[in-house]
Structures are given as structure tokens and as C-alpha cells.
Amino acid sequence: HRLDDLSAESFAKRDADATDWLDRFEAVPDDGLDADARIDRDLAIAMLRGRTITADWQGWKRDPLTYTSPALGGLFGLFLHRLRPEAELVDAAIARLEEIPRALEQGRQNIDPSVAHPLIVERGLASAKAGGRYVRDLLPDEVADPDAQKRMREAGRRAGEAFDAWVEHLDTVRQEATGEWRFGEERYTRLLREKENLPYDARSLRDRGQAEYDRLDAEMRALCLEARGTEDWRAVLHEANEDHPRTEEEMRIAYADWTERSRQFLVETGLVTLPEGDACVVEPSPVFQRPVIGVASYMSSPAFTDKLLGHFFVPFAPDGTPEEELQKRLAANSHSGIPTTAVHETYPGHHWHITWSKMHASRIRLVLGTPYFSEGWALYAERVMRERGFFTDPLQELQHLEATLFRAARIVVDTSLHLGDMDFEQGVAFMMEKTPLPEPTARAEVGRYCWWPTQASAYLTGCLEILRIRERYLAESGVGDIPPAEVDVAIMREFHDRLAASGRLPLGLAERAVMGDPA
């Protein structure tokens, strides 16, 4: 029912606890542990190393979302999943609403303008503004009983007042902030090696991203030349994006249609084993997320339940968005681009992966994981669906390739920003030159990289590692000389099922899980 203690003392204690637990897990010997238990131990070690590497960064002094996200996400999840009778949900929601003033006051004490950067504070400010409306006006409508709704409105009013004060404070902090968002080469490289179990440093990762960008650019030019008689893939995509849903509800319906098509394709081809009783609903993104997340996203059912229901959130615009900007947002969800996004978020992307792993992975793997696996898997899912013929129009293939090229550009910018080789404006210019992003979207993207170092590199890096593991798996299965698109689907299904069942492991551990390698 309660929100965590978010005081400075509590963060210090968490850091000390992480160091203590890391020492304890590193002291556990291999003797007596089977292969899976060794992977579980090493997963805990990797995640704890990540925590200790970032401890001195003190994100809780820099990022207002440290205080708003747990409050809003916890409330939203109660009524999204509805795991208890409504009366119990109301009691839990009111208890959390009553904790919001305390949590935001702790944020007020902790956020330090001397280390916070205006870009990061701005993200938190936008979320806080939406959060006030959510707790006051929208959350009570989740409740049917009039008396309970009245109680929710009163608690929401008090929480909303706390958000109003928080917004006012953050506006002042934004104007005074003089801190840094640059994460630094040493931290970045240590996260890659010690948390993600990857063999390269930040600079070699950037080189890999640039090489992939160049390869994909050439492939897109060739596809455009064959299909449209021109190598100018930017112009082709610009024209293709004019064919888009005209309303947000039309967009939601289109995503729902392609979600069903992608699932049916898996039924017909057998690329993966589909869990019995799973479902994925397609719905508007939560109101409080819209100012900070402008793309599609996914949320699974809670880990330790038997529910196999997933939620695919399509990117609705923040309240008050002008019609001209709304149409630009809809153009970023064109009819030729929707299929690859639907695959990424649902089948066999995030929804299938998380649902399948929920049924097979150990308990610790349901709690701990990395986006280098989960986002890498979702991008790999797009690729394997193209290999097997799901995208039937060259424009759909081009949109898939552009989505991958975009992830390559992300690697270049994300690493360059935190290595100190690009500033914010140079990152924006790179994204506008190398991808079809308009300036407002490019600014939002680069702001995200500043806010969340290493995450933007996860998608393509993870996908490339999965492709490397697949190449090894197919070779050891005796079919390494056959193009992957022609490999017997039963072998591919076995690979997909085994890899996804391992959870969301750092890729070095995932390879051990699939290939049976010793620790």
C-alpha cells in the first residue's frame, strides 16, 4: 500500500545494501550449483554490479522522475491489472495517494540544482503536470462505487495539490540547474562489460553502430532502387508516411489489426510456441506517460500471477496538442510502418517473449533483467518476421529497415554524447541528418539519451548479439550453411523457445543458457 522511503538516507542505505549483497553473491562457489543456478547467481551479480557502478552518479539528486514515476506507475498498475476486488484496490490507491505529498517533499529536498541539468528536470516537469491531472480527474473514474469514488477524489485532490507545488518547485529548479547529464566513458564501458556481459567498450560499440548504419543505408538504397527506381529512401519514406491514420482511434484500430495479423502468422508458420490463453489488448497510452513517451510501449501482467494478458499502448498525444502537431505524430505511425511496430511490441516481440519467459524462467529472472535482451529480442523479432515473409510490401520492408537503421544512429549518438564527443545540439543535428526525424522529435530523442545513458544502444546491440548466438546455434545444429530464412522452422522454433524461456538475461548469460556453456 505504501511508497518507498525516498530520503537521502534511504538511497545511501540501498547503495550500501547493494555492495553487501554483491560481496555475498560473489562469494557463492560453483560447487553444488547446477548450470541454471549458476546463471541465476551471475544474473544477480551483474545487476548488483550495475547498481554499484552508477551509485556515485546519484541519479536521485538529478532526476525528478525518481519521485513521480513510482507514485503514478503504482496507481496505474492497480487498476490496469485489477488483481484484487475493487474495494481493496480503492484502499490501496488511497494509501498510495496519501503518500504522494511525502514522496514529493523528499524529492524537493533531494533534487540538487548544482548537479541536475535543465534537460532532465524538464522531463520530470512535464510528467508532474500530467500527474496532477491524473490523480485529480482521471484516477477516480476507474472506480464504479459512488462512495469509493468520492473518497478517491478527496485523496486525489490532496495529492494533486502536492503535484502543483512540485511543478512550481521544478520550474524554479529548471531555471537554476547547472549540472551535467554526461555519464562518462568509464561508467558507460563498465556497464557494458560488467552488467551486460558484453566484450566491448563504449568506443568500439560506437564503431559497431556506425558500421551497421552504413550497411543498412546501402541495403535501403538497393531496396528503393529495385522497388521505386530511386536510391533516395528518405523521399520514399516521406511520401509513404503521408498515408497514415487521421485520428488517434484510427491509429489504435490499425495497430490492433496488425497485432492480430502477426499472431495469426505465428499460428500458421510455427516460428514460436504460443502460450495457451495469452492475449494482448491494444489501448491508448496512459495520460501521465504521454508528455515523456511519444512512441509505442508495452506492459505485461505482474510477474508472480497466472495472468497472461499484455497491454500494448499506442502513442496518443498529450492533452492540448495542436491539430497540426497531432497529424505529424500520426504520420510517424503510418500504415506502412505500423506492421513492424506491432511485431516489435506484440508477436513475437515483447508480449510473446515476456509471456513465454513468465511461464518458464526462474523466479529471479522474472524480477531481474536487462533491456539489452528484451529490446534486442523485439528488434530481432522484426528481422525474423521479415525473413519469413510477414512483410509483403516493399514499403513495409523499408520501414522495418529504417527502424533498424534508426537504432544504429541511436548507438552512435548515445555513445558520443556520454563520451564527450557530441553535445546536445550536435546529437540533434546527427539524428536529423541520418534519420527522417523532424526537429521536435529529434530533440526529444536526444533528450532521452541524455536522461538514460546506455539504454538507446540496447536495441540493435542486443539484436546483433542474438543473431550471433543464433548463428552459433544453427551451426551446432548442423544447418549453419543454410540461409536462416530457409532453415527448418522446427529448428528455428526450438531456438526461439529456448532463448526466450531464459528470461531477460545479459546476453553473455543468455548464450550460456541456450548453448549449455559452462560458467
Q: Is the peptide bond before 118 cis (omega within 30 degrees of 0)?
A: no
37 burial via Cβ count (<10 Å: 0-12, 13-18, 19+): middle
Confidence of residue 289 (pLDDT cuts 50, 70, 90): confident
How high is the pLDDT of residue 319? 85
Closest CA to 408 of 223, 149, 216: 216
Instruction: Please give the Cα distance from 349 to 339 (Å, whole number).
Output: 12
Decide if 202 contacts 189 (C-beta within 8 A): yes
pLDDT of residue 1: 55
Distance CA 391, CA 387 (A): 9
**Closest C-alpha among 333, 301, 298, 323 to residue 312:** 298
Question: Kind of pairing, strands 309-314 and 297-299?
Answer: antiparallel
What letter does residue 6 receive in the DSSP assignment? -
Query: CB-based contacts of 487: which residues, under 8 Å, 6+ apart?
Result: 474, 479
- The pTM of the full predicted model, rounded to 2 decimals, is 0.95
Is residue 197 a contact partner of residue 507, using CB atoms and an 8 Å limit?
A: yes
- To the nearest whole number, what is the mean pLDDT of the chain? 96
The arrangement of strands across the sheet holding 309-314 comes to 279-284, 309-314, 297-299
Q: What pLDDT digit, counting tens, does each position of 197-232 carry?
A: 999 999 999 999 999 999 999 999 999 999 999 999
Say if residues 86 and 97 touch (Cβ distance below 8 Å). no
- Whether 295 has a pLDDT exceeding 90, the answer reads no
pLDDT, one tens digit per residue, over 78-91 is 999 999 999 999 99
CA distance 163 to 131: 7
Taking the CB of residue 275, how many other CB atoms lie within 10 A of it? 14
pLDDT of residue 510: 98
Measured distance CA(266)–CA(282) in Å, rounded: 18
The pLDDT value given to residue 408? 99
Residues with Cβ < 8 Å from 105, sequence gap 6 or more? 162
Q: At what angle do helices 394-419 and 233-240 cross, to 10 degrees?
A: 110
- pLDDT higher than threshold 60 for residue 26: yes
Strand partners for 312: 282, 298
* pLDDT per residue as tens digits for the range 174-190: 999 999 999 999 999 99
pLDDT in tens, 331-366: 999 999 999 999 999 999 999 999 999 999 999 999
Least confident of 36-40, 301-305, 486-490: 301-305
Evaluate if residue 323 carries a pLDDT over 70. Answer: yes
Furthest-apart CA atoms within the chain: distance in Å? 68
d(C-alpha 430, C-alpha 479), whole Å: 40
Residue environment code for 214-231, b if the CB has 16+ CB neighbours within 10 A, otherwise e: eebbebbeebbeeebeeb
Residue 519 is predicted with a pLDDT of 63
Query: What Rg, from alpha-carbon coordinates, does the chain have?
Result: 23
User: Would you give the DSSP letter of residue 309?
Assistant: E
